[in-house]
Amino acid sequence: MTQWNFEADYFTACNCDWGCPCNFNARPTEGRCMGWGAWHILSGRFGTTLLDDTRFALYYSFPGPVEQGQGSACAYIDSGATAEQRQALEAIGTGKAGGGLFDLFGAQLVSKWLPTKVVPIEFAFKDGLGGVRIEGFAEAESELLSYPDGSVIRPWLDLPHGIEYKKGLMTNAKRWWWRDAELLASYANKYGAVARVKFTEQGCVG
């Protein structure tokens, strides 16, 4: 297996309520999972291919709890990546190159992969505020959580054994939508999280 690693800023959102019960081995809010993640790689390498300043996203749709599988998914790679970087990011994202989370979801729980899309991806966050735009397919906006009186809160979730991230700032996915073949969704005020993550072919290591 090719050795690889990256450090990235990460944003994820789904159709679950804030905090996402799946993080605690509980049933998804709606009984099904429609979730996704986007990575802006700060530094990394796949074999001899540098991955610095590349971006990719993955969308997953499961008819029931994730562990029951039968999911559909698609990988999206930023068009600014070179041909070699695109091949590397597709191998990572679809689980063909290991990576713990990527292998578990991509190679074991997803039964249908849509063709990978190469499109412009915008990714900008600061202190939980920001958004993701995957041209022609998806948009999302994140904001900090707050109480009814307007007081802003910054709850952190520590997951020492997490396969997605080890420590994440919980946010409000103020709105997000996805439109790609059967991958259709539109939600507001749902679970969101931002994190700085480190991955290798062995999985999430930081």
Domain definitions of the chain by residue range = 4-204
Q: What is the pLDDT of residues 42-96, one digit of tens each?
A: 999 999 999 999 999 999 999 999 999 899 999 999 999 999 999 999 999 999 9
pTM for the whole thing?
A: 0.96
Query: Which ranges constitute the DSSP H helices of the chain?
Result: 83-93, 101-103
Q: Rounded to an integer, what distance in angstroms lies between the CA atom of residue 124 and that of residue 139?
A: 12
| Average of per-residue pLDDT across 150-168 | 95
**CB neighbour list of residue 67: distance below 8 Å, 6 or more residues apart:** 109
Sort 23 into a burial class: Cβ within 10 Å, 0-12 / 13-18 / 19+.
Answer: middle
- pLDDT at 24 > cutoff 90: no
119-148 per-position pLDDT tens digit: 999 999 999 999 999 999 999 999 999 999
